């Protein structure tokens, strides 16, 4: 997993890591960076907002996923018969072949102790590492997804500007604050902030979305753009506000450990792909595709075992997930967030390993 060959991308990525670390206040060595920005903003200063955006004046700005709090598990992936018709990727090649997985469930922000009942812990995340080979060297590819289907900005530079504006607005009483002014010119970020982010009943009953488009390449060389989704076989189940108040600050992590290790059988998800059609935007993670687009099942993810406690800390510290596939049969799109996210993950991962 190399850094980008574009130094502008690397510089912006380094700026993002430093900004998230600064926002975290007290240091958390060995963890991913980031912290929610506690500030508010109003909408009255700009006509570019909807006439009456719901609850915008009380929206908490949260730095999107840094995901310091997480849990590693292991499992397997079995492809569907359809998967090999879309791509030559080895883990999608044969329904009779299973691929070992490392799975990480996580909560938003760079606070490793954030309570599961804190709204800033939403959206949640899942990362899947497909272990394709161990000799003569390790080969793997990853899927990274979150419980919201889009991102607040198209580029890393815009995301950095958003974080800096949010940080500069803390304690500012005059309007528009820096973040209010910035949001007035970026309606997609407002849409992200306003989007519902409910509390899941379990990591096993949450739906996760790959926000950036990738491209399948089949045996004939034909390409098709797509976005991943990870769908819970147990169905989507959320908690209402009153139910959340009754839960402990570790309810999600306690529940998934109990569910996986309690003899109830493996937790299962369906890995699917939403396929783009001609004319769909494939280089902008702020843009939704219509729900009428075809969704194809790629296979079944089975979450079978929690990584033992003695190995959790070290493996969490060393593993660096990669949003770029880097595998035959799946290519990156031109979405600028792919290189940016890869650089952010690598820079922060290297620092984590040194801690």
pLDDT value at position 264? Answer: 67
- Is a pLDDT exceeding 70 seen at residue 166? yes
Range with the largest mean pLDDT of 9-13, 163-167, 202-206: 202-206
Per-residue pLDDT of 82-92, as tens digits, reads 999 999 999 99
pLDDT value at position 131? Answer: 97
Domain boundaries of the chain, sorted by first residue: 66-156+194-354
What proportion of the chain, given as a percentage, has pLDDT over 70? 87
- Is a pLDDT exceeding 50 seen at residue 14? yes
- Is a pLDDT exceeding 90 seen at residue 134? no
Q: pLDDT band for position 65 (50/70/90)?
A: very low
The answer to whether 275 and 222 have CB atoms below 8 angstroms apart is: no
Per-residue pLDDT of 299-323, as tens digits, reads 999 999 999 988 998 999 999 999 9
- Is a pLDDT exceeding 50 seen at residue 51? no
Per-residue pLDDT of 216-227, as tens digits, reads 999 999 999 999
Topology (CATH) of 66-156+194-354 = Catalase HpII,  Chain A, domain 1 (2.40.180)
């Amino acid at each position: 997993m190399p850094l980008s060959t574009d130094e502008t991308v690397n510089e912006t990525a380094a700026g993002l890591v430093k900004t998230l670390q600064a926002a975290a206040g007290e240091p958390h060595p060995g963890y991913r960076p980031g912290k929610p920005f506690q500030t508010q903003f109003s909408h009255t200063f700009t006509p570019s907002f909807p006439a009456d955006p719901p609850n915008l004046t009380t929206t908490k700005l949260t730095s999107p996923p840094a995901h310091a709090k997480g849990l590693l598990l292991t499992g397997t992936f079995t492809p569907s018969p359809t998967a090999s018709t879309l791509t030559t990727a080895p883990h999608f090649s044969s329904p009779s072949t299973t691929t070992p997985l490392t799975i990480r469930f996580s909560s938003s922000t760079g606070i490793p102790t954030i309570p599961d009942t804190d709204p800033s812990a939403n959206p949640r995340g899942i990362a899947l590492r497909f272990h394709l080979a161990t000799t003569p060297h390790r080969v793997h590819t990853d899927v990274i997804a979150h419980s919201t289907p889009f991102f607040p900005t198209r580029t890393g530079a815009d995301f950095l500007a958003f974080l800096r504006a949010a940080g500069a607005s803390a304690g500012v009483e005059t309007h528009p604050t820096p973040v209010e002014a910035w949001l007035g010119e970026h309606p997609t970020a407002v849409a992200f902030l306003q989007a519902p982010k409910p509390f899941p009943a379990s990591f096993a009953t949450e739906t996760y979305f790959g926000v950036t488009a990738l491209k399948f390449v089949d045996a004939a060389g034909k390409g098709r753009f797509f976005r991943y989704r990870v769908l819970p076989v147990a169905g989507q189940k959320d908690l209402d506000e009153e139910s959340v108040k009754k839960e402990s600050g570790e309810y999600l992590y306690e529940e998934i450990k109990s569910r996986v290790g309690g003899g109830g059988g493996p937790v299962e998800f369906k890995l699917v792909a939403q396929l783009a059609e001609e004319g769909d935007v494939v280089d902008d993670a702020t843009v939704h595709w219509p729900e009428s687009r075809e969704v194809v099942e790629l296979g079944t993810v089975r979450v079978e075992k929690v990584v033992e406690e003695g190995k959790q800390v070290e493996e969490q510290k060393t593993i660096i997930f990669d949003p770029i596939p880097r595998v035959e049969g799946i290519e990156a799109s031109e979405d600028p967030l792919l290189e940016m996210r890869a650089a952010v993950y690598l820079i922060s991962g290297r620092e984590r390993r040194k801690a």
